[in-house]
Structure 1
Amino acid sequence: MAAYVLKGLRVLGFLTLFAISSKLYFFIYGDTAILNGNTAFQVAGLFNNNPTPEDAYAISDYAVLVVNIIVAIVAYSVGINLIPIKNLLGKGFSQHIANIAKGIALRILKVVSVIGLFALFVCCIDYDRFVSPDAEYGPALVFAITTFLTLMGYGLFVYMLRRLMRKKRPESQAGHLRK
């Protein structure tokens, strides 16, 4: 039970850092876009053959979201590695930097895999078959279904990865004598 509470607190901490980084970005830069108009149109052209101004605005919004996620991941990774003070005493500076870099890389991989799974489910499932496009509850239901499938898919992926990475336990030394 305590492990689930700790995981919940970690997620809450990450979401808090994300909200803080988003607000800081807005207070510092205001409504200025990270990508200028030409770059946003070029990136939108990769996804759409005939990009519209709305596509460029969406790409700029996604760029801000990506920057905020990366800032939150870096701050979270540094914080998580500096919190257990007891573990800091016996390690050198290079080990701390290596642990922080490893944590950043793994968390970015997790975020990219969850976003990729979500996008995969949104693109590959034909929601019009069981959710009416005219229904007012349609977008909320599609979001709930896609989120559920994403969490289940990610959980299954992590479970299978852990099973593959688990080492076989060696048989006891005298095991061959009993046969």
Structure 2
Amino acid sequence: DFLDAVDGKQIVVIDEAYFEFVEAADFPNGMTLLDQYPNLVVFRTFSKMYGLAGLRIGYLAGDLNIVDMIRRTCVVYSVNGIAQEAACAALGDDTNHIRRTRDLIRESKDFLRAELSSMRLPLIIGEGNFLIARLPGSDTLAYRRLMHEGIMIRPMTGFRYPNHIRITLAKMDAMEAFIGALKKILH
């Protein structure tokens, strides 16, 4: 509906940085819309699912005319050969890695949902590898206290979610340590 309303008058950008984490069958896939909407571009990255954030590698897909215009008008950083090889290797192990990572994320998400709900903390849960919880007090203070406990979270006040924290989902021992530290600082 939105893409039809734009009617090709503007370039529309879809950021699919977390797309590989999506399990919902009805979740839209921007890549499937590229042929229908030549004004659409889709960004994806190897930083999230593939863990290659330090290599700063991703890609843009879209109509060749728009991609060429972006190439001519934006600062484009070259990607070194090691990053390119790492990205190709990540794609080569695509199915197994994604399945295992999704399983880990699902397990951690279910655990945190249960634990944080039992603490009566409202949650925002999406398809990515994180969830957001609203705290009864300052997210910045919680950040400092959790750091003191050796736990790093993202305070969300700067993203217009005061008193909210973003928790990246990880292996179960890290999630259990987070819950223990959170209970300690909230009581």
Assess same fold via TM > 0.5: no
Larger fraction in helix? 1
Larger fraction in strand? 2
TM-score (norm 1): 0.26
